[in-house]
Amino acid sequence: MSVLVVGMSYSSASVSLLERVAVVESERDAFTARLLESSAIREAMLVSTCNRVEVYAEVDAFHPALELITATLAANAELTVEEIAESVYVRYSQAAAEHIFSVSSGLDSLVVGEQQIIGQIRSAYHDAAASGAAGTTLHRLAQRALHVGKRVHTETNIDSAGASMVTVALGKAADIVGQVGSVDDGGDHRPLEGLNAAVIGAGAMGGLAVAHLGRGGVSHIHVLNRTSERAARLAEIARDSGTEATALPMEQLDEAIAAADVVFVCTGAANTVVTLADVHSGLAKREARGEDPRPLVLCDLGLPRDVDPAVAGLPDVAIVDISQLAEDPGARAATRDKAIAREIVATELADYVSGERVAEVGPLISQLRGRGAQVVTAELRRFDSRNADLDAATRDEVERTVRRVVDKLLHPPTVKFKELAAQPGGDTYADIMRELFDLGNEVKKGSVHE
């Protein structure tokens, strides 16, 4: 199993470094295309979220592939390899599969148990498959990772024990504006009661923010997005759920800020979306209307950051960002649920690795059987040249007998090789098989789209 993972996350890199290395969705295909220009990499998939940037690749040569991926990540961020080296982690073969299974389960997330990562992995795989960057190996890996993530969230309470990043961020916002309490306390407690909010970005995180703001009791939400149709749709969803909401064009960002107590921002944009000038203008509009000063909280879950950090220096303005969430108790799942989740990951990993070992020896078995068929054909030709007067019925019987003998001779070793390949160290048996039967070392790996 020659899968390599090269990446960095909130646990290995600073937010400022992560936001430089992050690859926006529109550039994902071009990034993987650059990797596939090398003969060292056969398949590639990029997962770039608000707290991780990871490349999953099926490789022919470990060191050349590692060097290329690291150099591409650095170049994309306009940094040197040396500047990112200490923050990069590497996983290979079985460790690579274990890593993506832990990621999809929410065990490796900033907020343990969050479910958004499952959709992010699915999106990354679909993009890679659609562009031809992902083939059979990454198809099997991604599909099993999604299955593992679903199992963990179905069979444990890890997602409720470790709330989503959105929940934790909005809970901190409620604390800052002086209405202490979780936005998901349930019952009649609505910690954001009477406040106004703005949501900038109408993607998955924006949708979650709208839902949690509604549960928290906000009076009104302004929804802004660079695509006005998506903003209008999300505002409609909020209204259908019982929360007043209005879509605004991005040109009225300062107006949305002026009206808001809490602003949630997560756009996936490459550059700053909320500038210091935007916030200044919004606060000036409040003052012009004669409104009393009140706290303004901006929840910035974008990577790169969507809010200019200088905004935090303004009076009565606070920013809740990714770096703060790791310290929040709400980011920790219950110990028991994490233990069960890890057991599921371990069981699924063992099954996946066993299947991959069998899959790797399968083409060799096909080669072996093909070699046997070639020998039979060659010997029958020789037999025919020496027995030209033999009647057709007898000749057919000879052919059936020879093929039957070869099949019976090859059946026990092929069955045994499959059994041995499924065990730890199965790749050693594949090497033995190649040597014993003089089989080629190159096994073609087709695309799922062929």
Q: Which domains does the chain have, with CATH numbers?
A: 3-161 (3.30.460.30), 165-331 (3.40.50.720), 354-437 (no CATH)
Strand order in the sheet with 3-9: 41-49, 52-59, 3-9, 89-92
Active site residue 266: no
In one letter, which amino acid is 311? V
From residue 23, alpha-carbon distances to 180, 231, 324 in Å are 36, 23, 22
> Cα separation of 371 and 438, whole Å?
10
Q: What is the pLDDT of residue 78?
A: 94
Q: What is the pLDDT of residue 439?
A: 78
Instruction: Report yes or no: 210 and 232 within 8 Å, Cβ to Cβ.
Output: no
SS3 5: strand
Instruction: Report yes or no: 108 and 99 within 8 Å, Cβ to Cβ.
Output: yes
Q: Please, what sign has the CA dihedral across residues 425, 430, 431, 435?
A: positive
Options 23, 50, 117, 138, the catalytic residue:
50
Q: Which residues fall in the annotated binding site for substrate?
A: 49-52, 109, 114-116, 120
Q: Which residues fall in the annotated binding site for NADP(+)?
A: 201-206
Strands 317-321, 296-300: pairing is parallel
**pLDDT (tens place) for every residue of the chain, 450 residues total:** 689 999 999 889 888 898 899 998 889 999 999 999 999 999 999 999 878 999 999 999 999 999 999 999 999 999 999 999 999 999 999 999 999 999 999 999 877 777 889 999 999 999 999 999 999 999 999 999 999 999 999 999 887 654 567 888 888 898 898 754 445 544 455 788 889 999 999 887 888 899 889 989 999 999 999 889 989 999 999 999 899 999 999 999 999 999 999 999 988 787 899 999 999 999 999 999 998 889 999 999 887 789 999 999 999 999 998 878 767 666 566 567 888 999 999 999 998 988 887 777 777 788 888 888 888 899 999 998 889 888 889 989 999 999 999 889 888 888 887 777 777 666 677 777 777 777 765 444 433 333
> Cα separation of 323 and 311, whole Å?
16
Q: What is the pLDDT of residue 446?
A: 39
